[in-house]
Structure 1
Amino acid sequence: MNKVVEVLPDKEALIARSLEVVLSKIQSAIQERGRCTIALAGGGTPKPLYEAIANQNLPWDKIHVFWGDERYVPANHPDSNEGMARSAWLNKVDIPATNIHPMPTTGESPSADAEKHEAELREFFGTSVGEFPALDIILLGIGDDAHTASLFPHTDALQVQDRLVTVGNKDGQPRITFTAPLINHAHCVIFLVAGASKRPALAQIFAPDADAQTYPSRLIQPQGELLWLLDDSAGLDLKH
């Protein structure tokens, strides 16, 4: 794993740097593999990044968009990660509808929809059961509790080692989420973190020794690149 930590002066610089990195990764993935697969994060931090990507002139037919996790709500719900990404980015560009791969959230149950999405991923990537595909880019954030995607502290989702997709749980509210092993198979994982409230979580995530069940972002140790892009408020204690 190649791990890089960058602390940017402010949120604006964080977004500018994120855009630079993501565009470079998209370009190299398309050069090397003929397409780019990217999984998006929800939350407020990446939204301006998506708005900035929407202004780029990219080969949209070669970009496939996924999500690292999703709340179990319809896409038109204000809490939907898919809905946010569509309004900030995907509805504004000429990307083929078949290149957008949202997590299903309107089926019989979260577990049935998690299985359905897992089958969709296996079909898209051509992997068999027991194999993990490698997405080119996975964007992640962290919560004040050090969760990432919908991998929350001391929840069953943290134990899942043999699946691509599982059900996360936030205070009894189901989510659908990539598993830690799927995230760890990515070519590049990029954490975007802003705000002073994230400092205590980051201290534990970066500590030499801490419990990954309590601080789930510690589980993310990808085989490819790991980039932590932080604004100054979040990364103050991590400046070297």
Structure 2
Amino acid sequence: MNRKVEILPDQAALIARAKELILSKINAAIEQRGRFTIALSGGSTPKPLYEAIATENLPWDKIHVFWGDERYVPSDHPDSNEGMARRTWLDRVDIPAANIHPMPTTEGDPAVSAAKYEQELQEFFHCSPGEFPALDVMLQGMGDDGHTASLFPHTEALKVSDRLVTVGNKDGNPRITFTYPFINAARCVIFVVAGANKKPALAQVFALQADSFTYPSRLIQPQGELWWLLDAAAGDELK
């Protein structure tokens, strides 16, 4: 398995290491292919990471930002992943508007929005239906139930293997999410996980045998690199 696990002493060290790793991937991708593509995650953990990246002097015109999942709310809603990333990072740097690719959430039908985003991805990466393009970095978090992106335990989204984007479901509320095969197509997947509340799920995700439909983060086994960056509160028992 190509999994690399690092346990950092605290959340500040976790964010610093995640930033260092992402910056290295930005530099390598631009040097090799002339651009860098990343899919962002939501939640509270990546906020300081986005704030840290915003302080860097980067070739923003060569960086393209996507989202791995989104709540089905407008971008100015407090729960919007897009809104959070814009406030903490994207609105603070000179990235071209055309390089920001948010998930659509105003069509009134999540399935229509998912199809629209899939089409945008296919056009951007020049790929045909059924092909899974490789983003340079997929940034992932993990919930205390073992979900990642909006791939929640025992939901229909976990069964979708022939699409890039599908509709997720959290307690009856729709979300838009990348499918796990699309996440697995990435050149690099980076999980950034903090907090003691994640320990039980992490034990199952790292177990030799467990149910992936109960702990969906187990489904993330990319063809490229897989990094698990954990703070000590989350990962100390994995040592």
TM-score class, shorter = over 0.9
Structure 1 vs Structure 2: percent identity of aligned residues? 73
Q: For residue 32 of structure 1, what is the aligned residue in structure 2?
A: 32
Residue 81 in structure 1 maps to residue 81 in structure 2: yes
Aligned partners of 2:33, 2:167: CA distance in 1, in Å?
30
Aligned partners of 1:169, 1:3: CA distance in 2, in Å?
28
Aligned partners of 1:27, 1:47: CA distance in 2, in Å?
22
Aligned partners of 2:70, 2:108: CA distance in 1, in Å?
16
Q: For residue 117 of structure 2, what is the aligned residue in structure 1?
A: 117
Aligned partners of 2:211, 2:33: CA distance in 1, in Å?
37
> What does residue range 40-55 of structure 1 map to in structure 2 within 5 Å?
40-55=40-55
Q: Unaligned 5+ residue runs, structure 1?
A: none
Q: Where in structure 1 do 4 or more consecutive aligned residues deviate above 2 Å? A: none
> What does residue range 141-220 of structure 1 map to in structure 2 within 5 Å?
141-220=141-220
Q: For residue 9 of structure 1, what is the aligned residue in structure 2?
A: 9
Aligned partners of 1:39, 1:131: CA distance in 2, in Å?
18
Q: For residue 136 of structure 1, what is the aligned residue in structure 2?
A: 136
Structure 1 letter corresponding to 2:22 = V
Query: What's the offset of the Cα at 1:108?
Result: 3.0
Aligned partners of 1:42, 1:88: CA distance in 2, in Å?
12
Q: Unaligned 5+ residue runs, structure 2?
A: none
Structure 1 letter corresponding to 2:163 = R
Aligned partners of 1:213, 1:130: CA distance in 2, in Å?
23
Q: Deviations over 1:110-131 (max 9, x none)?
A: 0000000000000000000110
Query: What's the offset of the Cα at 1:2?
Result: 1.9
Query: Secondary structure, in 3 states, of the residue corresponding to 1:142?
Result: coil
Query: What's the offset of the Cα at 1:3?
Result: 1.1
Structure 2 letter corresponding to 1:102 = P
Query: Secondary structure, in 3 states, of the residue corresponding to 1:26?
Result: helix
Structure-2-length-normalised TM-score: 0.99
Structure 1 letter corresponding to 2:120 = E
Q: How many equivalent residue pairs?
A: 239
Query: What's the offset of the Cα at 1:171?
Result: 0.4
Structure 2 letter corresponding to 1:32 = Q
Query: What's the offset of the Cα at 1:40?
Result: 0.3
Structure-1-length-normalised TM-score: 0.99
Structure 2 letter corresponding to 1:231 = D
Query: What's the offset of the Cα at 1:151?
Result: 0.1
Aligned partners of 1:136, 1:121: CA distance in 2, in Å?
14
Q: Deviations over 1:70-126 (max 9, x none)?
A: 000000000000000000000000000000000000003000000000000000000
Q: For residue 101 of structure 2, what is the aligned residue in structure 1?
A: 101
Q: Deviations over 1:30-76 (max 9, x none)?
A: 11111000000000101000000000000000000000000000000
Query: Secondary structure, in 3 states, of the residue corresponding to 1:208?
Result: coil
